[in-house]
A and B are shown apart, each in its own frame.
Chain A
Amino acid sequence: MSTTTASKPRGIKLPRAVGKVPLSRIIAVVAVTIAILLPLFYDSGSAFIEDSTTALIYVVMALGLNIVVGFAGLLDLGYVAFFAIGAYTMGWFGSSFFTSQDIHIGVAEFLQAQPGIHLNWLLILPIAAIFTAFAGAVLGFPTLRLRGDYIAIVTLAFGEIIGRIAINSDEGVFGIGDFNLTNGRSGINPVDKIDLPFVERFTSLNFRPWYWTALGLALVVVFVNFRLRDSRIGRAWIAIREDEVAAVSMGIPTVRVKLLAYAMGAAFGGMAGTFLGSWFGTVNADQFEFSFSIFVLAMIILGGLGSIWGVVVGALALSFINTRLIPDVLNTVPSKIGLDFDLTELGFGIFGFLLVIMMVLRPQGLIPEKRHQAEFADVLEDGGEHETIVETRV
């Protein structure tokens, strides 16, 4: 097993293992078990389960971006593009949008009569994955010759371009033809709900099947990430991230490997996008803004760039802060301390403040990649006062 552990563990006093099982694995198993059982302790329509479902899909998104930014070191600021493509794929193949078509595969009876293309979500998933993987490779291709931060702006640009296409493509694309691709700002709605075989119908009232589906998707993606990280391709990604010249000199075909990172990361984003398209019930251009890309990026940096569990925790944390902590605080705190003004206008300012605090206090992230603990050893030892000999390259 090619996991690495620096020979100098940092000062946590917990036991490394219980018997022969490493502590981290125990924690993971317990956490997953709790996650599976969670909805049973809440009402089927509970807002908490609703927010948790959203959080789990963000976990999938973040893990996808982690492959590009965390493993391969390619600063991608346009991840929203893949969310968009995935969501629109759901919209095209899972709604009555294309009213002139009449294709139904694997959908419930009540949908058979509706016009449009209606495929089962399980079919749309791979289609979206293929679309977005392709898009990822195409969008990543121009960045291959660019230095690190130029990749950032080009990917950002692509994200914006895709967003623009989404807004403007209700009458032809780039002014060509008059085909309605995205229905612009009005978007596509309603979008079919997910429909799994052997499971009760998904509705907008019962969040439990949604939650478990999202959880299943998230667990699969976590699993795939671990497998990839500890494999030949994972090592190639990290080698490129550390030192591209050395990597290519060791026989790693950097073009192919980078494109693969883009494609895989995009595919996960696209799959998550299909879920969200169905979950929100609508797909419209206003959902796809640059702030989404930054939001997901913040999750992985906050969680610990490159660290799989770190990214999971970071995604859950930021998602919950966004959907629960800030609205709750804003609504209740003022009256509790006797003030009478409306804090809801401070929503994103507080969010920004939290970002700043979290980064200044723990720049390496909540659960740093084990490798980075090695890097930070030097920094922490002398309080960051001296230059480190070890280059902290992300």
Chain B
Amino acid sequence: MESASIPVRPTRSRGEVVREYISRFGLIALLLILPVLYGIQDLQDDGDLSRLATNMKDGLSNGAIWALIAVGYTLVYGIIELINFAHGDLFMIGSFVAYSLMGTVGLTVATGSLGLVFGLLLILLISMVACGSLNVMIEKVGYRPLRNAPKLAPLITAVGFSFILQNVGLLWLGGSHRGVPDLIESQTRYTTILGVPVTHGDILALVVTVPLFFFLVNFIARSRIGRAMRATAQDPQAARLMGINVDTTISFTFLLGGLMAGAAGLIYALYQTDVWFFAGFTAGLIAFTAAVMGGIGNIKGAILGGLIIGCVQQISDNRIGTEWTPAIVFGYLVLILVFRPQGLLGEQTREAG
């Protein structure tokens, strides 16, 4: 039998060719469809894109908060492959801590700017540290003993902690929403850029989250502990053999995630001027979705996911109706994973061999 000397491409069915095209362009189309659709509608109705731009701006501000929480999910998942269901409720505790401290430190709407800035900085630090330590404690008590257990066992522990934290919140500030003093006048317009009103709340979100993201990404990329975290995430056994203290590294990861959640709690409290014991559940769900959307384990992915969800939410709330927003956000998640099963920035794992 003679073998052919001409290289033969394995034949692909028409379905596969179509699927490949859909895959390549579908994702981009998916991400652009809402802005483009409503952009066109705006141009027709208003003659300019300011309404869409405002939606996007609000979306980015909200999304930054989700991104901060999502980063905590993705860090923990990256290192021990655990979906920390309690993380959203940790954020909620952070918001409660921030709210309570406002009273303790004596910040009111009458406080002068300098006092306000220093006061809030102090509260930010304390909230972050509180959540960070709480997270470390939860890991030590609930997850570390289950390191060798079936993979789903710590998931249930996380759920248990989620319920406990929610109950703590319930007992602390009651079951109804609590109004937070509008210390920074979060809805007041600070400036207008390109026809889009930028409020104090937006500035706050920007000013706190961007440095934190920069810090986080660089810290993990450059520092010794960051390297240890990445090594442990890739191969805990090998990391241990290289002399890395895996337990400490994992605790530190939880600390980092908790710090971010605490910061998010403060921003949320000031931005929304509202705290509620059940907000953590919703926030956690959104943040987890964001982390997965971006490729779980990938920090930049989590940030990207958070921002995207923020924008989708805003457009949906503003144009379609708040009752459909959760379904639309989840629909986006599913479709993104259909086009890109590893998430937006996730890595495809090669299994065989």
Contacts and interface: CB of A to CB of B under 8 A. Distances in A.
Given A161-B330, A164-B327, A360-B142, A351 B148 contact: no
Nearest to B151: A394
A355 B167 CA distance: 14
Q: Tell me which of A69, A164, A244, A387 has the highest count of chain B C-beta atoms within 10 A of its own C-beta.
A: A164
Nearest to A162: B327
Contacts of A174: 324
A272 interface: no
Interface string A373-388: 0000001000010011
Contacts of A345: 167, 170-171
A359 B327 contact: no
Interface string A150-168: 1011101110110011011
A353 to B, nearest CB: 6
Contacts of A69: 152
Given A161-B330, A297-B155, A356-B157, 6 more contacts: A157-B334, A158-B330, A348-B167, A355-B157, A360-B146, A364-B150
Nearest to A174: B324
Give the dominant DSSP class at A's interface. helix
A142 B154 CA distance: 26
Contacts of A150: 292, 296, 337, 341, 343
A306 to B, nearest CB: 9
A294 interface: yes
Given A153-B333, A164-B323, A345-B171, A394 B83 contact: no
A356 B153 CA distance: 10
B164 A356 contact: yes
Nearest to B157: A359
Interface residues of B, number: 52
A292 to B, nearest CB: 12
Contact of A355 (B160, B166, B288, B337): B160
A146 interface: yes
Contacts of B150: 301, 305, 363-364, 372, 392-394
Interface string B171-214: 10000000000000000000000000000000000000000000
A352 interface: yes
A360 B145 contact: yes
B334 A363 contact: no
Nearest first, the 7 closest Cβ-Cβ pairs linking A and B are A349-B167, A352-B163, A355-B160, A363-B149, A157-B330, A356-B160, A164-B327
A297 B338 CA distance: 25
Contacts of A350: 167
A16 B281 CA distance: 47
A302 B148 contact: no
B334 A158 contact: yes
Interface of B: 77, 81, 83, 85, 141-142, 145-157, 159-164, 166-168, 170-171, 237, 285, 288-289, 292, 296, 323-324, 326-327, 330-331, 333-334, 337-338, 341-343, 349, 351-352
Contacts of A394: 150-152
Interface in A50-82: 69, 75
Contact of A153 (B171, B289, B331): B289
A392 B333 contact: no
Contacts of B327: 160-161, 164-165, 168
A290 interface: yes
Given A379-B148, A387-B237, A392-B149, A353 B155 contact: no
A281 to B, nearest CB: 26
Contact of B156 (A168, A302, A364): A302
Contacts of B153: 301, 359, 363-364
A346 interface: yes
A188 to B, nearest CB: 19
Given A355-B163, A356-B142, A245 B351 contact: yes
Given A150-B343, A301-B155, A305-B152, A164 B326 contact: yes
A355 B156 contact: yes
Contact of A349 (B147, B164, B334, B341): B164
